[in-house]
């Protein structure tokens, strides 16, 4: 349990909107350079980045930007058209780990964020 002087959400602990935006901006170039992940994403990555920013803001305890714009996230269903293997989930998490190392100074916070993202990353797996 966090003390009242500590941020109450991951979103707050990260530093809010600007920090989430920086994380997304650090993450997607890594995805685009990853041979397992790049083929899953469109050439124009900007709309994907905006949705990721909106989703992560909400997922980390910030404003419900994604739900306000698109309704319930239903992320597994939204990812079903894409062949997501365990290897791709691991690659996604690896790119996120690198982005976190680049953008989040506190190693404990990086660990908490990555643990929080592991559940969804493996939940989206839909191919052996």
Q: Over its length of 128 residues, how does the chain's per-residue pLDDT go in tens digits?
A: 333 334 699 999 999 999 999 999 999 999 999 999 999 999 999 999 999 999 999 999 999 999 999 999 888 898 889 999 999 999 999 999 999 999 999 999 999 999 999 999 999 999 99
**pLDDT at residue 3, as a whole number:** 36
Tell me, what's the pLDDT at 4? 36
- Structural domains present in the chain: 12-123 (1.10.490.10)
Extract long-range pairs of 109-117: CB within 8 Å, 24+ residues apart.
109/10, 109/13, 109/14, 112/10, 112/13, 113/10, 113/14, 113/60, 116/10, 116/59, 116/60, 117/93
- Predicted local confidence at residue 7, as pLDDT: 61
């Amino acid at each position: 349990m966090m003390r009242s002087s500590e941020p109450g959400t991951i979103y707050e602990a990260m530093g809010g909107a600007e920090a989430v935006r920086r994380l997304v901006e650090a993450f997607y170039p890594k995805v685009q350079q990853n041979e397992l992940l790049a083929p899953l994403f469109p050439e124009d990555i900007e709309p994907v980045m905006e949705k990721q920013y909106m989703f992560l803001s909400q997922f980390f305890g910030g404003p419900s930007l994604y739900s306000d714009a698109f309704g319930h996230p239903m992320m597994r269903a939204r990812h079903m058209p894409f062949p997501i293997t365990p290897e791709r989930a691991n690659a996604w998490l690896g790119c996120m780990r690198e982005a976190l190392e680049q953008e989040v100074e506190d190693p404990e916070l990086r660990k908490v964020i990555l643990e929080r993202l592991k559940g969804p990353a493996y939940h989206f797996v839909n191919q052996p």
